[in-house]
């Protein structure tokens, strides 16, 4: 009996090993056979061109390393839903963990091939795929991602590179993933590795990506417009559904259901849906309060579509009608936003939107007696007015003068918490209006302008019947 048990164990082990190493025939490697069903993803040539542009920043005889995101533990043996590092996705189009992209400035001999780009990736494991879904593997990544050369990361060893031929190394790694593969993780210093001196820089590489990602291509704008359009539909539907007695999480559910119904993979960030005093919390995400008719609801949400995220905020009355105090504060924010958007033009400095918005808000709050001097403005308007938008909701950028084909937000706000040193009639009024603005060669384009913004438009829309949630 003991020998039979050993035999059974060996048979099972060998069978499992053969499954793990089995690879589908190359002729069967199509996007759908590898679990890729969307047909409007960024094309492989887009990512290949991005890699070429990164190489133009690199000095002679240098190497750059980009690491994917890792699976992140949620609790016990359950992971959070995987989300790729945006820079890694920008350069590869790969939506899998445990991978590393290596770029060479000059053609480099690796494993008998002369290359300028190498993707270190997990080989397919068919037993694992039963649990977590299909992966690209070596051949799939070369064929579908148009990567010059892929190699099994589990078989990679550091001495496969001749660092005597490399003068400098640039590392992009938000997750410390490279340490197990490239144990040379120092910032802007010369380190001794494998008997050679190597200059390592961990910061400059982020500046290269920020400069590239600030300017959106036509392919990117298609996806970004889609994400914004989905978000606009969600905000408009929420206006039609909202009523007293609803929970904040029910309003959130309406928004995120529209996201999913329209094909968005995720919210681009945790949805901020806060009523009354919660409208004065900038990044409120608890979303559990029961809403009353005299509450304002601030809804700051964004759908993520194929990596690109929107960011649109509206502040609406739960009962469909703004009070006089709410109208006053709302119109100040709207005035500040309108004037800031007008100056989103090529050549203007990035900070101009904040200068304009804070000036308007400061002047109007002084007129109302809510503040006595401009220096008090940060009590009620404590955040910046704009940020870049793209693969990240707070996308990287240079912070320089506006350039054509850049997308930013314009989002002034006023938040008057209970207990603030002003007339109590203003307490718990929190208003933010946020839109996604495309910088063009001419006038700025409000990509999210289809969502009602004025008081009259919002109150009118809130009287209309819902399209999706007719029986909510």
Q: Find, among 283, 308, 65, the residue nearest to 170 by Cα.
A: 65
Which two structure tokens, joined as six digits, stand for 206?
Answer: 């982020």
CB 298 within 8 A of CB 313: yes
What's the rounded Cα separation, in Å, for the pair 444 and 342?
7
To 10 degrees, what angle do helices 248-261 and 218-241 make?
Answer: 140
Q: Find, among 442, 451, 415, 444, the residue nearest to 431 by Cα.
A: 415
What's the rounded Cα separation, in Å, for the pair 260 and 301?
13
| 3 state SS for 123-141 | CCCHHHHHHHCCCCHHHHH
* Residues paired with residue 169 on neighbouring β-strands, in sequence order: 63, 200
Question: Which of the following CATH numbers is that of domain 12-210: 3.40.350.10, 1.20.1250.20, 3.40.50.2000, 3.30.930.10?
Answer: 3.40.350.10
CB 121 within 8 A of CB 150: yes
List the pLDDT tens digit at each of the 472 positions of the chain: 433 333 333 333 333 333 334 444 455 678 888 889 999 999 999 999 999 999 999 999 999 999 999 999 999 989 999 999 999 999 999 999 999 999 999 999 999 999 999 999 999 998 989 998 999 999 999 999 999 999 999 999 888 988 888 899 999 988 777 777 776 655 555 566 655 677 888 889 999 999 999 999 999 999 999 999 999 999 999 999 999 999 999 999 999 999 999 999 999 999 999 999 999 999 999 999 999 999 999 999 999 999 999 999 999 999 999 999 999 999 999 999 999 999 999 999 999 999 999 999 999 999 999 999 999 999 999 999 999 999 999 999 999 999 999 999 999 999 999 999 999 999 999 999 999 999 999 999 999 999 999 999 999 999 999 988 877 7
Identical fold for domains 12-210 and 215-461, yes or no, is no
C-alpha angle 341/344/345, rounded to 5°?
145
- The residues spanned by each domain of the chain are 12-210, 215-461
Q: What's the CATH number for 215-461?
A: 3.90.230.10
| Alpha carbon separation from 300 to 4, 131, 275, 285, 310 (Å, rounded) | 63, 35, 12, 10, 10
Which two structure tokens, joined as six digits, stand for 361?
Answer: 């808000």
| Predicted model pTM | 0.91
What's the rounded Cα separation, in Å, for the pair 34 and 140?
8
């Amino acid at each position: 009996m003991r020998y039979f048990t050993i035999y059974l164990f060996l048979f099972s082990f060998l069978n499992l090993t053969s499954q793990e190493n089995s690879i589908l025939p190359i002729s069967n490697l199509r996007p759908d056979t590898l679990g890729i069903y969307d047909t409007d993803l960024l094309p492989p040539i887009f990512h290949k061109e991005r890699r070429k542009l990164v190489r133009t920043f690199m000095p002679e005889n240098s190497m750059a390393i980009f690491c994917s995101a890792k699976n992140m533990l949620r609790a016990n043996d359950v992971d959070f839903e995987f989300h790729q590092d945006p820079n890694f996705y920008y350069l590869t189009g790969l939506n899998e963990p445990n991978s590393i992209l290596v770029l060479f400035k000059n053609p480099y001999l690796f494993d008998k091939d002369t290359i300028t780009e190498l993707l270190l990736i997990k080989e397919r494991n068919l037993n694992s795929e039963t649990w977590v879904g299909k992966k690209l593997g070596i051949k799939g990544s070369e064929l579908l991602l148009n990567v010059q050369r892929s190699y099994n990361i589990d078989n990679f060893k550091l001495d496969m590179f001749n660092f005597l031929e490399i003068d400098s190394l640039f590392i992009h790694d938000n997750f410390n993933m490279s340490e197990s593969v490239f144990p040379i993780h120092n910032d802007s210093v010369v380190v001794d590795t494998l008997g050679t001196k190597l200059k390592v820089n961990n910061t400059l590489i982020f500046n290269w990506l920020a400069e590239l990602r600030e300017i959106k291509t036509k392919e990117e704008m298609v996806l970004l417009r889609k994400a914004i359009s989905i978000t606009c539909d969600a905000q408009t539907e929420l206006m039609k559904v909202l009523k007293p007695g609803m929970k904040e999480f029910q309003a959130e559910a309406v928004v995120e259901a529209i996201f999913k119904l329209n094909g968005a993979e995720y919210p681009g960030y945790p949805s901020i849906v806060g009523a009354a005093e919660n409208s004065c919390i900038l990044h409120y995400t608890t979303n559990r309060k029961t809403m009353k008719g005299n509450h304002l609801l601030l809804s700051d949400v964004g759908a993520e579509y194929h990596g690109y995220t929107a960011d649109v905020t509206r502040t609406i009355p739960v009962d469909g009608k703004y009070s006089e105090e709410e109208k006053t504060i709302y119109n100040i924010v709207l005035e500040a936003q309108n004037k800031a958007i007008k100056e989103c033009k090529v050549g203007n400095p990035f900070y101009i939107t904040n200068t304009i918005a804070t000036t308007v808000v400061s002047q109007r709050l002084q007129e109302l007696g809510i503040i006595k001097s401009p220096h008090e403005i940060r009590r009620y308007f404590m955040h910046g007015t704009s940020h870049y938008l793209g693969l990240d909701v707070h996308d990287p950028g240079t912070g320089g003068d506006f350039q054509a084909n850049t997308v930013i937000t314009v989002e002034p706000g006023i938040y008057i918490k209970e207990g603030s040193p002003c007339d109590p009639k203003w307490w718990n009024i929190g208003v933010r209006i946020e839109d996604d603005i495309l910088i063009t060669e001419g006038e700025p384009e409000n990509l999210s302008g289809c969502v009602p913004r004025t008081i009259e438009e919002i109150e009118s829309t809130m009287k209309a019947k819902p399209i999706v949630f007719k029986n909510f």
